[in-house]
A and B are shown apart, each in its own frame.
Chain A
């Protein structure tokens, strides 16, 4: 969908190029994150795609068209653009801001109005906000308007320059999740610049790691980059928590779950003791058919029938699509040192710290 071929940018007066002969192919429907330290040319690269910055040499194609052969302002109307400071027009209302590109394209008023309503809903804003000015919105709301504005004319490609960098961490995480969900529904091709490696691996279906001077060090799926960094630079950039980051990308369902120390409440208490002994633990999980009731400590297992005991809750119940990072957290913070996994049909199994560790080293 987007193809950069030997693209170089040398800014006037600079002795070294900001981007050096960069070739990068972004297939249709992919979410590519460009990440790297300051001065790695990630923003320059992004801005060359919509010609906010003109490349010194090389070729850039979007949807098979050579961008240098198209009038810049016409090119930009077919590419969504979101920047960190959002850049909403302060003298225009939310609705007018969102309508910017459709108006430039000369859509009839009715169609613009319908589209604005649709987008307000899509990005999770309230209709009451349509007539507000940007200064009346919170940072997170402004960023949502920015995304809505970029999507207004339904461009196939979206360029985003650290779009969630200026909002506080809690809102940022929320916006990231929302935007990832939105992307999955809309199927746009996204190029997303960030300096935050966590954001890069969490958001991207592919991650491009750039070094100073716009040198591409590695371009691959995030799991692959975390498991096999191409070189020392990438390994260092990924940092010491590489294993944990990788766990953040893998779902619980990818790990081998065990049935663990559990018994049905219909069983005899002696069976519970056997199970505990086999697993070498001082507690046992109680099942009622497929339903996981909780756990009881060994000290409470006597002659009382299991169904008359009062099981304690597992503090965290994982879902199969939760990340292994979350599972690890559940394991190390729980009294029982396991993470229990429960799906729509009931108890699926549990994992302990060894199971998770295997996934890191794999």
Chain B
């Protein structure tokens, strides 16, 4: 079996279209996931007793097989609705994001928070100016995992009529046409890698202090 380069050349427009769709689905899912996770993390930090239930519910969502979840949501939101895909995609990002946000904030050393309070910073300012910046590495680590996972899951949304690269994979397998399936797979992997590297770069830019350490 060889790769049919001519087919790829003929379908560059479709590939570009799928790339845009795939990327858009990923960005929307991770953005909404982040927004919801942030709100839930705030609740968990403010009322520590809620942290258990929050992670339990999001944990259950995370363990539902994705194909089952997509199918289950179809009667609720309709077959080809973007909402069906997004509700599922977003719910898969919640657990990892909430856990990383909470761990990041809680990981800020107590003495830094106490000293900041002792200087006369308000609790709000301590959160925004001290805890949040210091939690950034953990939060971005969570976003990286969520984003890479989502890129993979978007391919599965093909079963409910969305798809991105998923359509190439599904059709390629159905027609036993290796080239098409490979295009979908390789493109998805590339997108995951590119997004991951971009987030690493963002983290480095957002945490200049972490790169400088005292010479031994």
Interface residues of chain A, those whose CB is within 8 Å of chain B, are 50, 52, 73-78, 81, 83-92, 100-101, 104, 132-133, 135-138, 146, 149, 159
Verify A83–B120 contact, CB threshold 8 A. no
Verify A89–B118 contact, CB threshold 8 A. no
> What are 27 A-B contacts with C-beta separation under 8 Å?
A52-B114, A52-B117, A73-B117, A74-B120, A75-B120, A76-B120, A77-B119, A81-B115, A81-B118, A83-B114, A83-B118, A87-B109, A87-B111, A87-B115, A87-B116, A89-B134, A90-B134, A90-B209, A91-B207, A91-B209, A133-B212, A135-B209, A135-B214, A136-B214, A138-B214, A149-B119, A159-B118
The size bracket of the interface on B is 20 to 34
Interface assignment of B130: CB less than 8 Å from any CB of chain A: yes
- B134, B212, B213, B214 — most chain A CB neighbours (10 Å): B214
Verify B122–A89 contact, CB threshold 8 A. no
Interface assignment of B133: CB less than 8 Å from any CB of chain A: yes
- B119, B207, B209, B214 — most chain A CB neighbours (10 Å): B119
A104 to B118, CA, bound (A): 12
Verify B119–A104 contact, CB threshold 8 A. yes
A75 to B119, CA, bound (A): 9
Verify B109–A73 contact, CB threshold 8 A. no
Residues of A within 8 A of B212 (CB): 132-133, 135-136
A64 to B54, CA, bound (A): 48
Q: Which residue of A lies closest to B211 (CB)?
A: A133
Interface assignment of B121: CB less than 8 Å from any CB of chain A: yes
Given A74-B120, A83-B118, A133-B212; A89-B111 close (CB under 8 Å): no
Closest CB of chain A to B115's CB: distance in Å? Answer: 3
Verify B121–A104 contact, CB threshold 8 A. yes
Verify B213–A81 contact, CB threshold 8 A. no
A158 to B132, CA, bound (A): 29
Verify B214–A88 contact, CB threshold 8 A. no
Interface assignment of B112: CB less than 8 Å from any CB of chain A: yes
A159 to B117, CA, bound (A): 14
A146 to B111, CA, bound (A): 12
- A52, A88, A91, A159 — most chain B CB neighbours (10 Å): A91
Closest CB of chain A to B189's CB: distance in Å? Answer: 34
Given A135-B212, A135-B214; A73-B122 close (CB under 8 Å): yes
